[in-house]
Amino acid sequence: MYLSSKKHILSNTLIFATAIQFLSIIIQLVLQSVMLNGKNQVDMLDDSVWAMQHFVTSFSIVFIVLVFFIAIKRIRSYIGVVDEEDRAMMGRLQEDSLGKELSALPAEMIYKLLFLWGVILVGVGIIQTMVLVMYRKFIVEINTLDDIPKVFKVVYNNIDGFKNLTIVFALLLGIVITAVVLENRKFTIMSIIIAILYLIAFCAFNLKKVDLFGAQVGIGWTTVVFYAISTVGMILFAVYLRIKYRGV
């Protein structure tokens, strides 16, 4: 069976979830800049900044779980209207009578993609939090060594890319799986290009310090690529799905 072409449950859910992630990043950046204003200290070594980041991130994960829970419950209620053994016949009847008013994919396939992206985006948030906990522990231990600025910069430049590596490729895997389902080569090619850009940033570029609201913040290029993919990239991906595929 199919949904109405006007539903767009998958793309809308991806947009909402990504918007929450994007808002979380903006809030963290603004609060971090305010809290570090006038302090000559790395953000990861400041206990109050670290607590704030965990608080905001935890809330964003909870809201993303809620968004996917509501979407999955909604699509299951639509699917549950028709008995399982009658769904194939219902789909054929819908195709014969409604045509372009139907979603580009069957309702059950949209449900599976929705569940897949829920697992990926919630999993990304949880894994990122766990990795950052261990990463901070490592940085705090480094801070006890001699010649701290030099040691910190060398270590940061060489390992910053690792903390987002698996998360980036989890997002790209979700895009590739969606591409296979929709038979769209553009998504696969796009994923390969993004993977190459991430690896270039990982291998070639170093830590860059920038002034943000009066505070100096260290930014790794791999982190820039990661946040670009997980926010702007995901929103563009969801908008493309909404425009290109009816009811997805």
- pLDDT value of position 149: 58
Q: Compute the distance between CA of residue 1 and CA of residue 82 in angstroms, rounded to an integer.
A: 8
Angle at 117 between CA 99 and CA 172, to 5 degrees: 105
- Tens-place pLDDT, residues 127-136: 778 777 777 7
Q: Compute the distance between CA of residue 144 and CA of residue 203 in angstroms, rounded to an integer.
A: 27
pLDDT above 60 (res 166): yes
Is residue 238 very low, low, confident or very high in pLDDT (cuts 50, 70, 90)? confident
- Tens-place pLDDT, residues 39-59: 666 666 777 888 888 889 889
Query: Mind spelling out the 3-state secondary structure of the chain?
Result: CEEECCCCHHHHHHHHHHHHHHHHHHHHHHHHHHHHCCCCCCHHHCHHHHHHHHHHHHHHHHHHHHHHHHHHHHHHHHHCCCCHHHHHHHHHHHHHHCHHHEEEEEHHHHHHHHHHHHHHHHHHHHHHHHHHHHHHHHHHHHCCCCCHHHHHHHHHHHHCCHHHHHHHHHHHHHHHHHHHHHCCHHHHHHHHHHHHHHHHHHHHCCCEEEEECCEEEEECHHHHHHHHHHHHHHHHHHHHHHHHCCCC
- pLDDT value of position 79: 81
pLDDT above 60 (res 208): no
Q: Compute the distance between CA of residue 156 and CA of residue 46 in angstroms, rounded to an integer.
A: 17
- pLDDT value of position 228: 83
Residue bearing the bigger pLDDT, 1 or 78? 78
pLDDT above 60 (res 205): no
> What pTM was computed for the model?
0.74
